[in-house]
């Protein structure tokens, strides 16, 4: 965000997005997806917010089911031009019980998530 000069505006941008989502979905049966939510902060281990803090914020702002869709870590550019992520399927799967306990009702994956990551998530959900 610093490269686009948005670092000072990120909280306001996220809060505006939350308000807009509330207004357009007020009495409708829809889901709204957000990347960082109303705080504009990243979760641990890359940011200062815990999973519980993030879920508390979402729960305060919606009565809809919470869909949790994490990245497989931060991207790394490799010398060959490919991109890799450092969170393994096993590491991601190990986090699932905490996400469900915190309030996630749908769990998936975003950037860097492979079919193996999704299989690890599904395996844990099936055992819960």
pLDDT of residue 68: 84
pLDDT of residue 1: 45
Statement: residue 35 has pLDDT above 60: no
Average pLDDT, the chain: 79
> What pTM value is reported for the model?
0.69
- Band (pLDDT 50/70/90 cuts) for residue 54 is confident
Statement: residue 38 has pLDDT above 50: no
- Mean pLDDT calculated for residue range 74-95: 92
Least confident stretch, 23-27, 36-40, 73-77:
36-40
Cα–Cα nearest to 103, from 74, 61, 40, 73: 61
Contacts of residue 126, Cβ cutoff 8 Å, sequence gap at least 6: none
pLDDT of residue 76: 87
Question: Hey, how many other C-beta atoms are within 10 angstroms of the C-beta on 125?
Answer: 16
Looking at beta carbons, which pairs linking 102-107 to residues 24 or more positions away fall under 8 Å? 102/51, 102/52, 102/54, 102/55, 103/55, 103/58, 103/59, 103/66, 104/55, 104/66, 104/67, 104/68, 105/65, 105/66, 105/67, 106/65, 106/66, 106/67, 106/68, 107/67, 107/68, 107/69
Most confidently predicted of 11-15, 34-38, 83-87, 120-124: 120-124
């Amino acid at each position: 965000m610093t490269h686009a000069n948005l670092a000072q505006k990120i909280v306001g941008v996220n809060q505006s997005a939350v308000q807009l989502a509330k207004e357009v979905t007020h009495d409708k049966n829809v889901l709204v997806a957000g990347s960082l939510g109303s705080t504009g902060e990243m979760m641990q281990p890359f940011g200062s917010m815990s999973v519980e803090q993030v879920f508390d914020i979402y729960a305060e702002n919606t009565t809809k089911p919470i869909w949790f869709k994490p990245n497989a870590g931060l991207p790394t550019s490799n010398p060959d031009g490919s991109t890799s992520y450092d969170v393994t399927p096993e590491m991601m799967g190990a986090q699932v019980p905490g996400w469900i306990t915190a309030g996630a009702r749908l769990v998936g994956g975003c950037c860097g998530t492979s079919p193996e990551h999704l299989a690890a998530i599904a395996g844990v959900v099936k055992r819960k």
